[in-house]
Copies of this chain bind each other. A is one copy, B any other.
């Protein structure tokens, strides 16, 4: 460690104040576009700021400012059916940690994936806490639109993660481009099967709303084959029970009927299918599914799942909070859309994956 004060020229509020013949308080007012400065003074100071190419010291700024922000987050509960939401939660906590010194408090709210009402209830609780900004996963379509609209009314910026709702106008959407994600999966199928094959698409979702997202993925998947004139035979099944046993029963019936050569499961529930095939001693089948979950990785290791597509859920949570931080603290403009990478995970690279 060396002291090299001399090296860096000090252009701070003091220097600006000195040049403008005003106090630092006035400089501060101009810097933050606060009222109570004559336009002559404001003008003069602004010119000096430009000249000096002044960059505020955020450390000092945050240290001096008592300003605190409350962010609120509404996510699905981590359920026994899937621990997918653990990852965004981790990302949010990582972000919370890294900006905690900037006076940002994050309050968490959780809803039950199987209970539409709990989303509403938690939304209300969240809004009652008077958050300065909000991040949520718009799992239930109608309810999410309502929540988004209330936020807009109350001038609370909000960020959407995991899936987007086009009719809303959030500060930012962070998540996958679902259509393209399905498209990619189809390309991978084509790598494996250059000749026409029988492919089974499996959608597993209790609520029709969630199904909507899966349908976008399915649409992308199908459109690839259409575009590339692939002659695969595509069968599909929508399973609306989330319970393990009934998922497997419904699946097995269709499976035994059609005996497909490949399976594409449009969400993280792919392990339920893999498990089913294993339990019933079915022969190995090429299978693509979604998400880096412990259960899924187990089947990847055992060659029952071949490929998992992932959209960096941890990063979605992290980036979501950071966008809010950038908006509030750094006052920078954040891009409206932030698509996550569509990552391809196999048995041979999952160890190195970073969520």
The answer to whether A155 has its CB under 8 Å from any CB of chain B is: no
Across the interface, which residues of B come within 8 angstroms of A68, CB to CB? 1-4, 7-8
Please give the number of chain A residues whose Cβ is less than 8 angstroms from any Cβ of chain B in the complex.
46
**Stretch of A85-93, A109-117, A335-343 lying at the B interface:** A335-343
Smallest Cβ distance from A309 to chain B, in angstroms? 9
**Which listed residue, B105, B183, B354, touches A341 by the CB 8 Å rule?**
B354
- Let me know if B352 and A177 touch, CB within 8 A: yes
The answer to whether A243 has its CB under 8 Å from any CB of chain B is: no
- Let me know if A348 and B184 touch, CB within 8 A: yes
Copies of this protein in the complex: 2
Across the interface, which residues of B come within 8 angstroms of A351, CB to CB? 180
The answer to whether A218 has its CB under 8 Å from any CB of chain B is: no
Across the interface, which residues of B come within 8 angstroms of A349, CB to CB? 180, 184, 341-344
**Stretch of A54-62, A161-169, A205-213, A269-277 lying at the B interface:** A54-62
In the assembled complex, the Cα of A191 lies from the Cα of B349 at a distance in Å of 15
- Let me know if A184 and B346 touch, CB within 8 A: yes
Quick one: CB contact mask for A306-348 with B, threshold 8 Å, 1 for yes? 1000000000000000000000000000000001111110111
Across the interface, which residues of B come within 8 angstroms of A192, CB to CB? 191-192
Q: A59-B63, A69-B1 are in contact. Are A352 and B348 (CB under 8 A)?
A: no
The answer to whether A67 has its CB under 8 Å from any CB of chain B is: yes
- Let me know if B7 and A183 touch, CB within 8 A: no
Across the interface, which residues of B come within 8 angstroms of A36, CB to CB? none
In the assembled complex, the Cα of A180 lies from the Cα of B346 at a distance in Å of 12
Across the interface, which residues of B come within 8 angstroms of A2, CB to CB? 67-70, 132
The answer to whether A5 has its CB under 8 Å from any CB of chain B is: yes
Q: List 8 A-B contacts (CB under 8 A).
A: A1-B67, A4-B68, A180-B348, A183-B348, A341-B352, A343-B344, A344-B346, A344-B349
Known A-B contacts: A1-B68, A7-B68, A63-B63. Give 20 more (CB < 8 A): A1-B69, A2-B68, A2-B69, A2-B70, A3-B66, A3-B67, A3-B68, A58-B101, A59-B63, A180-B349, A180-B351, A180-B352, A188-B191, A191-B191, A339-B352, A340-B352, A341-B343, A341-B349, A341-B352, A344-B349
